[in-house]
Amino acid sequence: MPSQKNDNASTTPHRKVRLYGRTDSAEAYELRDFLNRSVVQFDWVELTPGKDWAKQLGLPQLTDAQLPIVELPSGERLFRATVHDVAKHFGWIAQPQRSEYDLSIYGAGPAGLSAAVYGASEGLSTVLVEKEAVGGQAGTSSLIENYLGFPRGVSGAELAERARQQAVKFGAEILLLREGISAEFKNERIHVKTNECGEIIARANICATGVEYRRLNLPNEDRLLNRGVYYGAGAGEAQMCGGDHLFVVGGGNSAGQAVMNFSRYAAKVTMLIRGTSLSATLSHYLIDRITTARNVEVLYHTEVIGLDGESSLHQITIRNNQDGNEKTFGANRVFICIGGIPNTEWAKAVGIRRDSADYLVTGPDLLAQGNRPECWTRPRDPFYLETSVPGCFAAGDVRHNSVKRVASAVGEGAMAVAFVHRYLDEIQ
């Protein structure tokens, strides 16, 4: 779903959503990102200096405090718009319909969406809770080329939107912009406290909360976040980068995809990796493209050590870890794709087993020399994707030793539902 830059603002109602804002606005970036990931067609209108935008928009005056502005297809305008406002206007903010579900799923990436499709299609009352946009990490991919059945590739947002429709068709409830905050297990139910929609109770649960991008942990990083410093592949931003020199940090497939996507629009893309080669971390098909692309350079043994700018990023400083040389470049966009940290803080509080990197341990990995963990309460071994709490399963990237692929996350989501049935039969 390509968004487009558009300088021709008008006061007449418009078919598509229009988003007006400044390029260095973090709030405008968050809206663009959300709309892109939600497959909403929109035009981005950059409020360039030197033009009478108030007049263009038919307003008596226009101040920064009113930005960003979202103009809905009806012509209605939302000033100082947030993701929540937009989702509300599209009718995407819902309350749980039931007091209790057979299955609650947290995280609507590929694993959670797959679990919702299989759970709901197999007759389980199913609720899927997602704190951001549907699609998870996959939803931020410009082109997934290794997912079965899509020989020409598919954008992550489109794949996720299809899965969302499929889950809804089978009757799954999807609660967007809701976050599972803490959990309690009692009377063979999981009670999850959420933001804004109270407690959700279910007989079984699948945690599919995936991972979040790791940070560089540099001074200024938080201040410049979404103001030139972005986490992830920025699939929707590529078209806005015409003529720029962009930097992508990381050597994995997500970074590689981002590099190739940006290289179609940017003057130059520099990929910064710490390792000595791409082959250890990147799929073969991407290595070929990156090393032959005319406007892509790869800097090995390299680390970002500085991010600078006032209201937005203006320069980055890098260091070569072999010779210690440091270099500073003018830069207005750097995309950081350096692997993830699992979203499992909630599990810590309820004593669910995690590994040393905080991924959820499941099934046979819970057994030590064939022995069940002390906390385990059933007269059987944990099912394959079951965590150390019976009836609570994990699927996808959040799981210890998972494969970190769309296909495996989808497979695990489906598989977890099969084990949910077995567990529910047990507690009948």
Torsions phi, psi for 260 (to 5 deg): -65, -35
- The strand pairing partners of 44, in sequence order, are 5, 19
Our finding on whether 417 is near ligand FAD (CB under 6 A) is: no
Rounded Cα gap, residues 412 and 417, in angstroms: 9
Q: Please list, in sequence order, all residues whose beta carbon lies within 8 angstroms of the beta carbon of residue 179, skipping any fewer than 6 positions away.
A: 129, 131, 194, 195
Closer to ligand FAD at the Cβ: 57 or 398? Answer: 398
Give the phi and the psi of residue 294 in degrees, each rounded to 5: -65, -40
Closest approach of ligand FAD to the CB of residue 106, in Å: 4
Nearest Cα residue to 416 out of 100, 122, 99, 96: 122
Q: How many residues bind ligand FAD (CB under 6 A)?
A: 39
Which segment (38-46, 117-125, 140-148, 326-334) binds ligand FAD by CB under 6 A?
Answer: 140-148
Phi, psi for 66 (deg, rounded to 5): -90, -5
Closest distance between ligand FAD and the C-beta of residue 266, in Å? 17
> Which residue, 126 or 343, has its beta carbon nearer to ligand FAD?
343
Stretch that binds ligand FAD, among 27-35, 79-87, 125-133, 359-367 (CB under 6 A): 125-133
Q: How near is the Cβ of 210 to ligand FAD at its closest, in Å?
A: 2
One of 106, 118, 230, 335 touching ligand FAD (CB under 6 A)? 106
Residue from 397, 416, 419, 420 binding ligand FAD (CB under 6 A)? 397
- Side chain identity at residue 21, one-letter code: G
Contact indicator for 188, 173 with CB cutoff of 8 Å: no
Six-digit token pair at 367?
Answer: 């057994």
Between 304 and 398, CB nearer to ligand FAD: 398
Q: Which residues contact 152 (CB under 8 A, 6 or more apart)?
A: none
Q: In this complex, which beta carbon is closest to ligand FAD, that of residue 115 or of residue 307?
A: 115
Which residues ranging from 172 to 211 are in contact with ligand FAD (CB under 6 A)?
Answer: 179-180, 208-211
Residue 237 binding ligand FAD, by CB under 6 A? no
The answer to whether 177 touches 83, Cβ cutoff 8 Å, is yes
Is there binding between residue 138 and ligand FAD (CB under 6 A)? Answer: yes
Using rule CB under 6 A, residue 409 touches ligand FAD: yes
User: In this structure, are strands 340-342 and 69-71 parallel, antiparallel, or unpaired?
Assistant: unpaired
User: Smallest distance from the beta carbon of 125 to ligand FAD, in angstroms?
Assistant: 18
Q: Distance between CA atoms of 235 and 269, rounded to whole angstroms?
A: 14
Task: With CA atoms as reference, report the closest residue to 398 among 368, 354, 336, 350.
Answer: 354
Distance CA 233, CA 141 (A): 7
Stretch 336-365: interaction string toward ligand FAD, x if CB under 6 A: -------x----------------------
Compare residues 131 and 227 and give the one whose CB is closer to ligand FAD. 131
> Contact positions toward ligand FAD, by CB under 6 A?
106-112, 129-132, 136-138, 140-141, 144-146, 179-180, 208-211, 232-233, 253-254, 257, 343, 396-398, 404-407, 409
